Amino acid sequence: MTLRKELLAALASTAMVVAIASCGVPDPHSGGTPSLKPNSNNPPATTPTNDPDPTMNPTTNPPPDTTPPPDTNPAPVANDFSISTSQASATAAVGGSATFMISSVVVSGNPESIVLSVSGLPAKLTASLNPATIAAGQNATLTIAVSADAPAGTATFTVKGASPSVEHSTSASLTVTTNMPPPPPPPPPPMNCALADQAKMLFTTGVQPIVSPTTMCGNGICHGGQGSPQPQFISMTRPYETLTSYALVVGTFDKNTAPILTKIAGGTHFAMVYTPAQVTTIGTWLDAEKTARAMCTTTTSTIPTPGQVLDLTVGKWSGCMEQTTFDQNGVATAVAGLVSTQGPCIRCHEQGAYDMEASDDSTRTFNALTQNAPLLKVWFAFDVTNLNAPKVTVNDALFIKVTTGQPPFIEHPLATWQGSQAQTKLKAFFTATQAKMNATPNTCGASKIISPP
């Protein structure tokens, strides 16, 4: 397989060199002639490029003279040449240009001087030849400049070479593409905002009829639909979303600078003018749009997520926890010493082992809980079901689950949490902390949480 691929590749590249050589370009390796690259726009077989036979063009060429009539007194050899373009077609964006190499070859006789000319190009496409006169056998460069307001489409043109003895032509085509970027995605419609609804309504009832597909901007051919000039802001299906997604049309919704108004002012855009009433209608809509976009987005983005509320609540709680209260209640020792079927809790959970803090060092335990959110969330439960009223409780549910061996803690040592010293002391500390959290003025400190935030 690989060998076959390589062989094909080698054959292909050989074919390329042959094709380039037959274009009459002196050095295929000199670079700088991008138009010679293999190119889908350059169909190989049907182009005049690879055709050194000038007789292919029946309109301008005399019949073949390769078989001289049976004349006992042959005429002297005529001076003749052929011309061809480096490629049959090229593509250029509006505002850009395309380059063709024009090659000439002496077919018979002596090289004469050839005057080149280009015909058949539509308006907005300008040809320049360098040089415009060559000796047969030499090449020239044809550059076609495409003006910024040229329409998209394909133009076929003819390059003529005229020597004192004979004239030959070849033709090629240029496809003009519009190179505007695709429109940015429509901005998210502001949610539940009366101002936005009102702005859209002003567009639909007032502005859309002015710029609709059948009136000014659409006009059947402009700014909407396949192949129409960019920006294509006229849409039958989503008129509002499409038009407002083009900064080229609406700018920043400022009526003093928005192109939808400024472009038409002064009659320089295809001599179009709005009536004063239309200017007012569009201006009023732009004002409404500008206000809606400023007001509606900020109000929706300030609602925090449950995750943010949880982090905030955990942080607040840690800030309200007080070490003196924790020490006085002897919480650390009580939890560490709670006896299970396999020894006290401290036996396995000292210094946060197995994600649970149980140490008889009160300071250590207090710091571990208040600085480490996952450890704090084992001792206390944080419920943010109601984002406006988050709840904190002693995590009795988890302690009971673990100490009674419920799934997934089926192999956990058993103990009695309900009514234990540990539960009672933790509860006392919890009540004190909760009181502090709810007190006004609030005397809690800042969050002590270090990891993770």
Binding site for ligand HEC (CB under 6 A): 338, 340, 342-343, 345, 347-349, 354-356, 378, 398-399, 402-403, 408-409, 411-413, 415
Which one, 243 or 415, has the nearer CB to ligand HEC? 415
CB of 366 to ligand HEC, least distance (A): 17
- In the bound state with ligand HEC, the residue whose beta carbon lies nearer, of 96 and 413, is 413
- Phi/psi at 112 (5° precision): -105, 170
Cβ of residue 307: shortest distance to ligand HEC, in angstroms? 19
**Residues forming a β-bridge with 23:** none
Q: Which is nearer to ligand HEC, 155 or 334 (CB)?
A: 334
Instruction: Give the shortest CB-344-to-ligand HEC separation in angstroms.
Output: 6
d(CA 86, CA 137): 14
| Smallest separation (angstroms) from ligand HEC to the CB of 449 | 17
- Nearest approach, Cβ of residue 396 and ligand HEC (Å): 11
Question: Nearest distance from residue 370's CB to ligand HEC, in Å?
Answer: 17
Report, in Å, the least distance between residue 403 CB and ligand HEC.
5
Catalogue the E-assigned strands of 147-268. 153-162, 167-177
Range 373-390 burial, b when 16+ CB lie within 10 A, else e: bebbbbbbebebeeeeeb
Of 248 and 381, CB closest to ligand HEC: 381
Q: Which is nearer to ligand HEC, 253 or 326 (CB)?
A: 326
Q: Which is nearer to ligand HEC, 235 or 333 (CB)?
A: 333
- Cα(215)–Cα(223) distance, integer angstroms: 11
Question: What gap in Å lies between CA 418 and CA 427, rounded to an integer?
Answer: 11
**Distance in angstroms between the alpha carbons of the first and the last residue of the chain:** 57
Distance of CA 432 to the CA centre of its chain: 55
Which residues are CB-contacts of 360 (< 8 A; sequence separation ≥ 6)?
Answer: 332, 333, 336, 337, 346
* 194/442 Cα distance (integer angstroms): 38
Smaller CB distance to ligand HEC: residue 120 or 337?
Answer: 337
Q: Which residues contact 449 (CB under 8 A, 6 or more apart)?
A: 314, 315, 318, 370, 371, 372, 373, 376
Distance CA 63, CA 220 (A): 48
